[in-house]
Amino acid sequence: MSCPPDESEDKESPPSEELECKICYQRYNVHSRKPKILDCLHRVCGRCLVKILDNADISGSVPCPFCRHQIEITEYEVSALPDDTNILFHLASRDRSTSSDLNKEVVLNPKSFSSSSPSQDSSNCLVITIMEVPRHSRSPSRNGSSEVYAEQSLDSLSIGKAEEKLSLLRQQKEESVLKEEKTQHYLEAVVSVAEHISLERNHLLHMASALEQEKQRFICKILNGTVRLGKLQKEVQVRLKSPLNIS
Question: What is the structure's pLDDT at 212?
Answer: 92
Mean confidence (pLDDT) of the chain: 76
- Is pTM beyond 0.75? Reply is no
Check residue 241 and give its pLDDT.
77
**Which of 76, 90, 74, 72 is closest to 35 using CA atoms?**
90
| Greatest CA separation for the chain | 198
pLDDT of residue 140: 43
User: Is the separation of the CB atoms in 157 and 62 below 8 Å?
Assistant: no
List the Cα angle 218/219/225 in 5-degree steps: 90
Per-residue pLDDT tens digits for 49-92: 888 888 877 667 788 889 988 888 877 778 888 988 888 888 88
Q: What is the pLDDT of residues 171-221, one digit of tens each?
A: 999 999 999 999 999 999 999 999 999 999 999 999 999 999 999 988 998
DSSP codes, 112-125: GGT-SS--TT-SS-
CATH superfamily of 7-118+131-137: Zinc/RING finger domain, C3HC4 (zinc finger) (3.30.40.10)
> Is the pLDDT reported for residue 25 higher than 50?
yes
Measured distance between the N- and C-terminal CA atoms of the chain, rounded to whole angstroms: 183
- Does 8 or 96 have the greater pLDDT score? 96
Per-residue pLDDT band for 125 (boundaries 50, 70, 90) equals low
- Poorest-pLDDT segment among 6-10, 36-40, 105-109: 6-10
d(CA 170, CA 75): 32
